[in-house]
Amino acid sequence: MIFRIYKVYLVNSGSMSPSVPVGSLVFVKKEKPTDYKVGDVVTFITPDAHRSIVTHRISNLFTNAFGLLMMQTKGDANTNGDPWETDIGSVIGKVKFQINWIGYYFVLTKTRSGFLVFVLCSFVWWVLPEFKKY
> If you write DSSP's letter for every residue of 26-82 in order, what string do you get?
EEEE---GGG--TT-EEEEE-SSTT--EEEEEEEEEEE-TTS-EEEEEE-TT-SS--
Q: What's the confidence (pLDDT) of residue 118?
A: 78
Nearest partner of 24 among 37, 39, 43, 40, judged by Cα? 43
Domain boundaries, the chain: 2-101
| Three-class DSSP category at 95 | strand
Predicted TM-score (pTM) of this structure = 0.80
Pairing of strands 7-10, 86-87: unpaired
Closest CA to 89 of 15, 33, 5, 7: 33
Q: How far apart are CA 115 and CA 121, in angstroms?
A: 10
- Residues 3-61: tens digit of each pLDDT: 688 999 999 899 999 999 999 999 999 999 999 999 999 999 999 988 999 999 999 99
| Higher-confidence position of 115 and 85 | 85
pLDDT in tens, 48-97: 988 999 999 999 999 999 999 999 999 999 999 999 999 999 999 999 99
More confident residue, 115 or 46: 46
2-101: CATH number: 2.10.109.10
- For residue 134, what pLDDT is reported? 59
- Count of helices and strands (H, E) across the chain: 4, 7
